[in-house]
Amino acid sequence: MSPTFLAATTDKNLELVLRVLPAIVVVLAASAVCGRLAMLVKQPRVLGEMVAGVLLGPTLFGALFPDAQKAVFTAEVKPVLYVLSTIGLTLFMFLVGAGLDHAGGNGRKETRNAAVLAVSGIVPSLLLGVASGHLLHDRLSRPDVTPFEFALFIGGALSITAFPMLARILYERGLENSRIGRMTLLGASVDDAAAWCFLAVLSALHADAGALHALRTIGLTVVFTVVMLTVVSRLLCPMGAQVQRTGRFGFDQMYVVVGIALLAGLFTDYIGIYSVFGGFVAGLAMPRDPAFRQALHDRMMDLVCVLLLPIFFTFSGLNTELGGLAGWAMIGPFLLIFAAGFAGKYVGCALAMRGIGFGWRESWAVGGLMNARGLMILIFINIGLAQGMITKEVFSMLVLVAVLTTAGAVPLYRWALPEHLERRMAPAAQPAAADAPPAEAAPART
């Protein structure tokens, strides 16, 4: 929009709209192009959307056309993008939770295996990350951040599995309700819940809020989860039964479910765990009736993924400057952090899966999937950057770790479980035995 026209506009709300809408159109165009290119090279569309966000920041768009980039993403536009991205993340995680078939499979054994997977996904990466952070503190940290805090932050960031990113990969391949898919999603959800509790403790230490504040946050999180999965879940059962019986999912039901998702996100934001966790728990509390779950997915998923999630990737990309990592002074620390994150997740999860009785192919496949960490580590490090726990150089390093580990997730999965093996594992043919092969994925969604 031309500056002359904006200068003649007296309505400030209209002026804001005229600045925000072009920015969103640019985001959608870049995401569409990069998403399609990612699919052409056999990567998930979401990885292309994530790269698009980085390219729209100072790394490419800002470097080549700095005036145009500042004109599109003005200071007034950025807060609006932040609000939209937070709503999008919350609703996406809500849909992931609502679509997760946590009643499928051998429940007790599957839950136990997911717990083992979650621990193996957290502990090795956390320890390697802490060691890397301790070694790199003097070179990379802000002077007001102690070595202990910096090391814990790096360890916590590397221990995350990108739950929404993993969910998008599984949904695009139709694997979300296979045995491996359910277990991986459950293990990743435990990883991320632990990461937010960990970040709450770290934030309290950094702000000198004290241990009681962190314990309060963790305690309220537990209470919230129990209430949602018992009281709220039971209250919603009649609505699910009605949709299953009539086949109708109207505006009345949409008001209820969207309101619950946003209120859950608001509450967890308020207690310091971040809204995405609240959205996921709200999704788990939704009725499990197949017709209800399908209608909810059909009504909301495409809009959330096409419009709102790319805005978050762009908001993160605006804080990412990969050009600053050039030179051996930064490449060495980056390689150390990347190696710690990659080995901790990939090897740690694969060995744990093998230890609980899975074959090597399944084990390496899950290790590859758990190594995807793009979206959640972006949220984690955005909070760290906002709170002054890391510098922009460290932020950019961790963004690059997110891109590379996520880019490797699907190739590593396909290397371990080629399509001809994946096709043999159909849900209808899944044996009842606990150690039966995992279910076949539905055709991959694009």
pTM of the entire structure? 0.75
Mean pLDDT of 383-394: 82
Tokens (6 digits) for 381 = 């490090």
Distance between CA atoms of residues 433 and 240, nearest Å: 30
Residue 270 has pLDDT above 90, yes or no: no
Question: In the prediction, which pLDDT does 210 show?
Answer: 60
* Mean pLDDT to the nearest integer, 212-223: 79
Gyration radius of the chain over CA positions = 22
Which tokens in the block code for residue 127?
């320890």
User: What pLDDT score does 434 carry?
Assistant: 34
Q: Specify the pLDDT at position 327.
A: 59
Q: Given pLDDT bands bounded at 50, 70 and 90, which one contains residue 427?
A: very low
Q: Work out the percent of the chain whose per-residue pLDDT is above 70.
A: 82
Neighbours of 424 (CB within 10 A): 10
Average pLDDT over residues 98-115: 66
pLDDT tens digit string along 429-445? 343 333 333 333 333 33
285 has a pLDDT exceeding 80: yes
Per-residue confidence (pLDDT) for residue 144, from 0 to 100: 81
Residue-wise pLDDT tens digits, 170-208: 766 676 667 777 778 778 877 877 776 777 777 766 666
> How high is the pLDDT of residue 7?
56
The pLDDT of 348-361, averaged and rounded, is: 86
Between residues 99 and 141, which one has the greater pLDDT?
141
pLDDT of amino acid 84: 93
Distance CA 310, CA 97 (A): 20
pLDDT at position 8 is 56
Arithmetic mean of pLDDT over the chain: 81
Residue 304 above 70 pLDDT? yes
**pLDDT category of residue 237 using cuts at 50, 70 and 90:** very high
What is the Cα–Cα distance from 122 to 117, expressed in whole angstroms?
A: 9
Q: Count of CB atoms within 10 A of residue 355's CB?
A: 11
- Tens digits of residue pLDDT in 108-131: 666 777 788 888 888 999 999 999
Token couple for 171: 């949904």
Residue 81 pLDDT: 92
Of 19-23, 99-103, 392-396, 399-403, the one with minimum mean pLDDT is 99-103
Average pLDDT of the residues in 349-362 = 86
Higher pLDDT, 348 or 185: 348
- Whether the pLDDT of residue 160 is over 70: the answer is yes
CB-CB neighbours of 248 under 10 Å? 11
Rounded mean pLDDT of 31-35? 94
- Judged against a pLDDT cut of 60, whether residue 345 lies above it is answered with yes
Helix ranges restricted to H, 272-373: 275-284, 290-303, 309-317, 328-355, 360-370
* 36-52: pLDDT as tens digits: 999 898 787 888 888 99
62 falls in which pLDDT band (50, 70, 90)? confident
Listed residue (123, 126, 113) closest to 187, CA to CA:
113
Matching residue, tokens 């150690």: 435
Tell me what pLDDT residue 209 has.
Answer: 57
Q: How confident is the model at residue 25 (pLDDT cuts 50, 70, 90)?
A: very high
274 pLDDT more than 80: no
pLDDT, tens only, 305-334: 889 989 988 988 887 777 666 656 778 888
CATH of domain 91-302+328-418: 1.20.1530.20
User: 80 burial class (0-12, 13-18, 19+ CB within 10 angstroms)?
Assistant: middle
| Domain segments of the chain as ranges | 91-302+328-418
What local confidence, expressed as pLDDT, does residue 428 receive?
42
Segment among 76-80, 160-164, 246-250 with least mean pLDDT: 160-164
